[in-house]
């Protein structure tokens, strides 16, 4: 029976592929990302030091088998090692021509810094002596040797790195230098001797070194750091890690040697061209560890022009193969370039957009790929204030990047620290920007969270109370910043030496999880031109779902159109009545005892409404504008009962102390008005206003309101048409639950339209439709469709009425708990509930489409801006989604991605 193959040479990729189903993904699964890419680079003819990969399966078998290497593994390792020896004409452990190797971990998904690597395996006193004889470079040999013992000691033997660093710093101190590279060969020899004493378990037999290193990498898969990282990053625990054994190349061989890391494009901005750092005469981690000052990669062009040109050529080759920006590790050994790793590079949202567009323009990927690669949250990034790049860089250079936590709610927030929600609210009331800092948050803290610019907690994860509330209200937030210790009694936070007092400035980035001390500059990215606009243009070509905006004012409508909205899906006319100069007229209208009085007040409001509508038609010239008739219960336009009672009591007290007759007159007048208002507030009081006299019910009870609104809409449409515009009014009736309501309201609207058109001598095409926001509307949609030209699903209210819960009340009481404890698996107000609400929407769509193939059915709740809900809307055949102007770009991308997902 053939035994299992646990080991694959970097030059055997074709064989590995032939033995696996599932393409590149399963190659990565078996060899790990690092191993698969090392083999791929080898196949592409890129210079990679020879080596082999011990598979993830071997790791899993080792972990299963109580720490015993699986049968056959060790002999396969030795066999593969011999192949390298033959190729390089060196022998592992042979002082005459010693081969040194590295032992590198590499799982399927990159887990940066989570597992460890040992370099320079194969050195002991004898081979070191041999290597000195061969290279004549004692400094290099003992530098390599001390690194081996240090890495072996920490990674394999589990010793604290501090022990080794103390020896080094003593040596530097005695010599009076700041860099280990400046220690003399003799000093390094002494360091090695002291390291040997520290790492008593360090084996001198190279084979033993290798075996122990492999086992240590295997075991590190279940180490605390790795498990925590996988939990945080959502990586499965049963994948295992591969181990790569690779011949060493030396960047520490003198002035013609170097080591570095670079990206093929800027990870910050996406600018094409290499971006990275390197060090002359150094090895591996020196560049990333920050112990020596690195040089920017462009400087390599001066120091080692040939290697630099080669690196550029390799970068292009790798991008052509992976169709992605790459993050590369390289080493120059005595003028010769070697690549040691490549992987897809990490990037900011800005860079992600630019890189996707550039790669498509360069022909490396298709436009659809570009659209697929950018996430909705990366587009969302462009719509929030951000920390300025230069400010971020400067703060980082000055050591003011104090911690990083979980990035749970995007955007930048800058403010003074407040450690108490009441303090936060008070400071915000004084006009200060505040960051609320808490160990964690509770429902009692919500007022402080709302008052704050941003939220920072030291505990909690992605589904913590703080994270959920922050996302709900669009507050930037970073949670789980474990490095910071909050002292609630002392009103301060500490991290080691650092103390943050109440009132100290903090800046946080909810997109990256970074927390800075100090007040960093912010900016709002411009989306109107450049790469994002191009990408969204491509998205528009790919999507079939329409995107409209919810906009109540002409300025919002214009912004929405700039962001790419194809019309207005919802204009809430009542918002126009809330404006301060109009509210008293509105209140007079509500207070009127007679229809004539009411008509007078309405006549005052009519020209104002008409102006608003004309503004909307102008902003959306040629595009549909859905205007919803007045919807909320009338009491919302009046002061609250409590407020009025207080005002009346105050007036009475002042009346008793009034000095002049004029004052008495004035106070009495106000008192009477307030008493009238109070009577009306009492009369309009409903136990469940959400289910009361509102929406179409109001229009039927007070047809004069409906008439006024209809006249204003059609007169404005005629005005727009006379100006030469193309107004497309769609009049929408809210809260319908019976066809009878629709019939009556429609009669009024149609007859007002006819009257206006006759008067003006022009006709404008218009539609009359209804919202579907009660279960009964959805269930009787076939009857509604007979009288409606379009449907618009009011998914906020439909969710409320389907669940029979009031959102405003639920959010401050049980909803957050339901989400935290998993009673609900998602928030039905952020993401459309497909099981219940979705079923009702399906029903409405089916009824509408039976009547007419392209019957317009849109969604105008907040779900219209949520990518998951947008995907649902696409798949279920809705005509469009309508969302807030700021979500329009996100919706355009999400709609395109939904189209791509269902097409493939
Ligand atoms: P990490 O995943 O932490 O980056 P790596 O396995 O990539 O760990 O290795 C750490 C460092 O050592 C990197 O800079 C890498 O380029 C370098 N390195 C690894 N193997 C070799 C080798 N055979 N020759 C030279 N440098 C190496
Ligand atoms: Mg690496
Ligand atoms: Mg509604």
**CA 329 to each of CA 259, 311, 325, 343, 668: distance values in angstroms, whole numbers, following the listed order:** 8, 10, 14, 9, 83
Among protein residues, the one whose CA lies closest to atom 19 of ligand 1: 102
The predicted pLDDT at position 1 comes to 47
User: Is pLDDT above 90 for 380?
Assistant: no
Contacts of 709 by beta carbon, 8 Å cutoff, 6+ apart:
573, 609, 627, 629, 630
What radius of gyration do the chain's Cα atoms show?
35
On whether the CB atoms of residues 829 and 862 are closer than 8 A, the answer is yes
Which residue from 397, 399, 384, 325 is spatially nearest to 511, judged by alpha carbons? 384
Structure tokens at 707: 């008439």
User: Could you tell me which residue, 417 or 585, shows the higher pLDDT?
Assistant: 417
Question: What are the residue ranges of helices labelled H in 511-553?
Answer: 531-542
Mean of the per-residue pLDDT values of the chain? 92
The predicted pLDDT at position 107 comes to 94
Report which listed range, 286-295, 388-397, 469-478, 756-765, is most confident.
756-765
Which residue from 283, 260, 264 is spatially nearest to 273, judged by alpha carbons? 264
Q: What's the pLDDT band for 611 if we cut at 50, 70, 90? A: very high
Most ligand 1 atoms within 8 A of CB, residue of 100, 113, 117, 331 to mutate: 117
Backbone region of residue 493 per phi and psi (left: phi > 0; alpha: psi in -120 to 50; beta: other values): beta
Among protein residues, the one whose CA lies closest to atom 14 of ligand 1: 284
- Residues serving a catalytic function are 465, 860
Summarised one tens digit per residue, pLDDT across range 839-898 is 999 999 999 999 999 999 999 988 999 999 999 999 999 999 999 888 999 999 999 999
Most ligand 1 atoms within 8 A of CB, residue of 10, 119, 229, 276 to mutate: 119
Give the DSSP per-residue string, 139-206: HHHHHHHHHHHHHIIIIIS---HHHHHHHHHHHHHHHT-SSGGGS-HHHHHHHHHHHHHH-TT--SSH
Which of the ligands is closest to the CA of residue 258?
1
In sequence order, the β-bridge partners of residue 259 are 279, 331
Summarised one tens digit per residue, pLDDT across range 235-275 is 899 999 999 999 999 998 889 999 999 999 998 889 999 99
Using DSSP, state whether 31 is helix, strand or coil. Answer: helix
With residue 505 as reference, give the H or E element that holds it: strand 505-509
Percentage of residues in the chain having pLDDT higher than 90: 72
Give the pocket of ligand 1 (CB within 6 Å). Answer: 49, 102, 104, 113, 117, 119, 246-249, 284-285, 329, 331, 340-341
Q: For strand 505-509 and strand 514-517, is the pairing parallel, antiparallel, or unpaired?
A: antiparallel
Measured from the CA of 261, which atom of ligand 1 is nearest? 14
Summarised one tens digit per residue, pLDDT across range 196-236 is 999 999 999 999 999 999 999 999 899 888 888 888 778 89
Among protein residues, the one whose CA lies closest to atom 8 of ligand 1: 117
Give residue 800 CA to ligand 1 midpoint distance, Å: 56
The predicted pLDDT at position 291 comes to 65
Q: For strand 7-9 and strand 728-733, is the pairing parallel, antiparallel, or unpaired?
A: unpaired
Which of the ligands is closest to the CA of residue 52?
1
Structure tokens at 13: 């990729």
Query: Looking at residue 5, what DSSP letter applies?
Result: -
User: What is the C-alpha separation between 543 and 346, in angstroms, rounded?
Assistant: 28
Sign of the Cα torsion 667, 672, 677, 678 reads positive
- pTM for this structure? 0.84
User: Could you tell me which residue, 726 or 654, shows the higher pLDDT?
Assistant: 726
Neighbours of ion ligand 2 (CB under 5 A): 341
The predicted pLDDT at position 529 comes to 66
Which of the ligands is closest to the CA of residue 343?
2
Measured from the CA of 251, which atom of ligand 1 is nearest? 25
The predicted pLDDT at position 292 comes to 72
Q: Once rounded to an integer, what is the mean pLDDT over residues 15-26? A: 94
Most ligand 1 atoms within 8 A of CB, residue of 155, 284, 287 to mutate: 284
Q: Which of 133-147, 286-300, 330-344, 567-581 has the lowest mean pLDDT?
A: 286-300
């Amino acid at each position: 029976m053939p035994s299992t193959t646990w080991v694959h040479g970097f030059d055997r990729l074709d064989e590995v592929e032939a033995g696996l189903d599932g393409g590149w993904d399963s190659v990565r699964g078996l060899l790990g990302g690092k191993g698969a890419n090392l083999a791929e680079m080898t196949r592409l003819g890129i210079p990679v030091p020879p080596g082999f990969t011990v598979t993830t399966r071997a790791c899993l078998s080792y972990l299963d088998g109580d720490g015993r290497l699986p049968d056959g593994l060790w002999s396969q390792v030795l066999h593969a090692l011999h192949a390298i020896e033959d190729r390089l004409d060196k022998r592992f452990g042979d002082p005459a021509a010693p081969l040194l190797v590295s032992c590198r971990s590499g799982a399927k998904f990159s887990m940066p810094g989570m597992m460890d690597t040992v370099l320079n395996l194969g050195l002991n006193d004898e081979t070191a002596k041999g290597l000195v004889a061969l290279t004549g470079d004692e400094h290099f040999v003992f530098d390599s040797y001390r690194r081996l013992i240090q890495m072996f000691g920490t990674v394999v033997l589990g010793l604290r790195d501090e022990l080794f660093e103390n020896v080094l710093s003593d040596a530097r101190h005695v010599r009076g230098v700041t860099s280990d590279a400046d220690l003399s060969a003799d000093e390094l020899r002494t360091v090695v001797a002291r390291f040997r004493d520290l790492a008593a378990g360090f084996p001198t037999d190279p084979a033993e070194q290798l075996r122990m290193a492999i086992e240590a990498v295997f075991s590190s898969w279940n180490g605390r750091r790795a498990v925590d990282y996988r939990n945080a990053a959502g990586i499965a625990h049963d994948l295992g890690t591969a181990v790569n054994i690779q011949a060493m190349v030396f960047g520490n061989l003198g002035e013609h040697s170097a080591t570095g890391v670079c990206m093929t494009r800027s990870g910050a901005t996406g600018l094409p061209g290499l971006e990275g750092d390197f060090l002359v005469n150094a090895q591996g981690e020196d560049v990333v560890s920050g112990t020596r000052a690195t040089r920017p990669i462009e400087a390599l062009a001066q120091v080692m022009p040939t290697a630099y040109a080669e690196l550029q050529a390799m970068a292009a080759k790798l991008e052509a193969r992976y169709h992605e920006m790459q993050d590369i590790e390289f080493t120059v050994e005595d003028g010769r370039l070697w690549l040691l790793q490549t992987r897809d590079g990490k990037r900011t949202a800005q860079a992600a957009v630019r890189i996707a567009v550039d790669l498509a323009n360069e022909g490396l990927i298709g436009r659809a790929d570009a659209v697929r690669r950018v996430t909705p949250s990366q587009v969302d990034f462009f719509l929030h204030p951000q920390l300025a790049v230069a400010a971020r860089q400067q703060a980082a250079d000055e050591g003011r990047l104090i911690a990083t936590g979980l990035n749970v709610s995007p955007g930048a927030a800058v403010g003074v620290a407040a450690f108490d929600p009441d303090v936060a609210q008070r400071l915000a009331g004084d006009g200060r920007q505040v960051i609320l800092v808490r160990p964690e948050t509770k429902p009692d803290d919500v007022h402080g969270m709302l008052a704050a610019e941003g939220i920072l907690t030291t505990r909690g994860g992605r589904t913590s109370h703080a994270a959920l509330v922050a996302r709900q209200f669009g507050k930037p937030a970073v949670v789980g910043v474990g490095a910071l210790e909050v002292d609630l009694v002392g009103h301060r936070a500490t991290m080691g030496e650092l103390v943050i007092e109440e009132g100290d400035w903090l800046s946080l980035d909810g997109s990256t999880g970074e927390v800075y001390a100090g007040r960093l500059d912010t900016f709002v990215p411009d989306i109107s031109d450049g790469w994002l606009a191009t990408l969204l243009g491509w998205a528009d070509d790919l999507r079939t779902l329409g995107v409209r905006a919810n906009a109540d004012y002409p300025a919002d409508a214009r912004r929405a159109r700039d962001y790419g909205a194809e019309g207005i899906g919802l204009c809430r006319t009542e918002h126009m009545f809330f404006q301060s100069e109009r509210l008293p007229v509105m209140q007079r209208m509500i207070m009127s005892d007679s229809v004539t009085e009411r008509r007078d007040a309405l006549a005052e409001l009519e020209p104002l409404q008409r102006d608003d509508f004309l503004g909307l038609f102008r902003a959306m010239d040629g595009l549909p504008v859905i205007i919803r008739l007045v919807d909320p219960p009338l009491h919302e336009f009046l002061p609250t009962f409590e407020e009025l009672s207080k005002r009346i009591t105050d007036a009475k007290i002042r009346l008793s102390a009034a000095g002049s007759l004029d004052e008495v007159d004035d106070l009495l007048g106000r008192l009477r008005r307030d008493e009238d208002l109070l009577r009306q507030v009492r009369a309009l009081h409903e136990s469940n206003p959400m289910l009361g006299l509102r929406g179409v019910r109001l229009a039927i009870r007070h047809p004069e309101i409906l008439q006024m609104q209809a006249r204003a809409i059609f007169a404005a449409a005629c005005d727009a048409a006379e100006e030469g515009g193309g107004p497309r009014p769609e009049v929408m009736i809210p809260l319908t639950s019976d066809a009878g309501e629709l019939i009556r309201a429609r009669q009024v609207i149609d007859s007002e339209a006819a009257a206006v058109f006759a008067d003006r001598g022009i006709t404008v095409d218009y539609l009359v439709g209804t919202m579907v926001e009660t279960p009964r509307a959805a269930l009787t949609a076939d009857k509604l469709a007979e009288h409606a030209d379009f449907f618009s699903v009011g998914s906020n209210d439909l969710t409320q009425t389907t669940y029979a819960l009031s959102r405003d009340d639920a959010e401050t009481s049980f909803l957050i708990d339901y989400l935290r404890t998993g009673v609900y698996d998602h928030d039905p107000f952020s993401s459309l509930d497909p099981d219940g609400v979705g079923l009702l929407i399906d029903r409405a769509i089916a009824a509408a489409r039976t009547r007419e193939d392209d019957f317009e059915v849109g969604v105008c709740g907040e779900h219209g801006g949520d990518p998951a809900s947008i995907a649902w809307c696409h798949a279920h055949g809705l005509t469009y989604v309508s969302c807030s102007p700021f979500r329009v770009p996100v919706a355009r991308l999400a709609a395109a991605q939904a189209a791509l997902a269902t097409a493939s």
